[in-house]
Amino acid sequence: MALIDPIKLSQALIRHPSVTPDNGDTLDLLAENLTALGFDCHKLVFEEDGTDPVPNLYARLGTGAPNFCFAGHTDVVPVGATGSWSVDPFAADIKDGNLYGRGASDMKSAIAAFVAAVSRLLRDEAPKGSISLLITGDEEGPAINGTKKVLDWLEERGETLDYCLVGEPTNPQEMGQMIKVGRRGSLHGMLKVHGIQGHVAYPHTAKNPVPDLVAILAELNKEPLDAGNELFQASNLEIVNIDIDNDSHNVIPAEAKARFNVRFNNEFTPEGLQAELTRRMKRAGVDYEIDWWVSGDSFLTKKGPLSDAVVTAVQTVIDKTPELSTTGGTSDARFIKNMCPVVEFGLVGATMHKIDEHVAISDIETLSDIYLNVLKRLVI
């Protein structure tokens, strides 16, 4: 069985400029490597009206239980100001022991570490269970035609996952610091207040919606939503946009709009949070319209075989005990948690989404060692 070099595969993946959504070339390269290792690969393209078609990859080795899944994404965020990079963002250059490129940290190098770990396992022994990879091309984008639809496809086939490890960059500054065992949910509110347009010199003939909008926003932020708990930080509401759509200095606008986002912990369900926010908005005593969008619910993976295996693997490989955390934004783990226990562990995320994104070569090797150790604990 040929071994996969995680550094060379990381470079090869980065050299495919798969700004979200991935067009599929990166996934084809990945499938070639997995097919050579004996995986049965399925390239799955999903689309909906008004959205881009998105290719995804599901690959499985074996048919037995448990089915241990590595999950991740090949799409990357835009590079921003290319001239501000010290290197070509898609050349995958190595400088001073670091691999540079968009996706180096988030998260093509982790995918390469997945594959390298599997190749090393297969060189020495055959797993009793199955190993699978669920890789989407639409995590950094709307996430409509990605992981969630692959999970639906698996259910239609009568196939399930027993454990899942997502390779997002979980470590703040150095390897072994943090495993994500849960995430806060994300609720978006799109708020609109109607007025009557008119001349500012004749306010009695118009109705200014701005004071009403300000009153509602003040009520939303008047007191904390909760104090957090032992496992989650406090829920937090941020006003992210106010739009009056009025460039004139002497016109009272016809409407005022605002958008806000709440990252909420497990003290709330999405429905309970909407009810609490509605109660607060009604205190303002003004008319409004609101549209809600829940992009992810909060979840917590309880301590068990999966988290124990990842913690012990980190301790074994680098002699550190990682913190079990629920901090940060959302990931595709929010979909996977509906099928099986899921945790996240990957590279250092200090430069993800930034100019000159990079990771240490030694960290990629270390991550591959940790993934191999996890596999030996759960599928051998």
Query: Would you name the residues annotated as active-site residues?
Result: 75, 139
Contact 339, 158 (CB under 8 A): no
What is the SS3 string spanning 137-154? CCCCCCCCCCHHHHHHHH
Degrees to nearest 5, angle at CA 304 with 324 and 71: 70
What is the SS3 string spanning the chain? CCCCCHHHHHHHHHCCCCECCCCCHHHHHHHHHHHHCCCEEEEEEECCCCCCCEEEEEEEECCCCCEEEEEEECCECCCCCHHHCCCCCCCCCEECCEEECCCHHHHHHHHHHHHHHHHHHHHHCCCCCEEEEEEECCCCCCCCCCHHHHHHHHHHCCCCCCEEEECCCCECCCCCCEEECEECEEEEEEEEEECECEECCCHHHCECCHHHHHHHHHHHCCCCCCCCCCCCCCCEEEEEEEECCCCCCCEECCEEEEEEEEEECCCCCHHHHHHHHHHHHHCCCCCCEEEEEEEECCEECCCCHHHHHHHHHHHHHHCCCCEEECCCCCCCHHHHCCCCCEEECCCECCCCCCCCCEEEHHHHHHHHHHHHHHHHHHCC
